[in-house]
Amino acid sequence: GAVVSQHPSWVICKSGTSVKIECRSLDFQATTMFWYRQFPKQSLMLMATSNEGSKATYEQGVEKDKFLINHASLTLSTLTVTSAHPEDSSFYICSAIGRVGYEQYFGPGTRLTVT
């Protein structure tokens, strides 16, 4: 149980375009989802916290107009990187927690490359 999927697993896009990444909890309802970014040889940095039916809470330094997060249902959150630039190339990972408990279940990650 407690499986989280991400789609796509990797994506290459051109500078200036937008990319949408989906995060789904497959066998549980996720009241809260988190989005992280990880640059090579660095640790995970929390970008935002997403609660179903409400606006996402962004961490300091993360542009909310550039990284649009939608948590429309208890099993799906999406991250859209708008007007992507090469410096947005990174590994994006989502995680989810259920109604009970605190453990975060991580998705497999999405490798974004902006050319």
Partner 1 sequence: GQNIDQPTEMTATEGAIVQINCTYQTSGFNGLFWYQQHAGEAPTFLSYNVLDGLEEKGRFSSFLSRSKGYSYLLLKELQMKDSASYLCAVLRYGNKLVFGAGTILRVKS
- The verdict on 11 binding partner 1 (CB under 8 A) reads no
Helix (H, G, I), strand (E, B) or coil at 18: coil
Which one among 21, 67, 107, 112 touches partner 1, defined by CB under 8 A?
Answer: 107
Give, as ranges, the residues between 56 and 95 that touch partner 1 (CB under 8 A).
Answer: 91, 93, 95
Instruction: Give the DSSP H or E segment for 46.
Output: strand 45-51
- Please, how many CA atoms are within 13 Å of residue 56, restricted to the half-sphere of its CB? 26
Smaller CB separation from partner 1, 37 or 81: 37
- The verdict on 44 binding partner 1 (CB under 8 A) reads yes
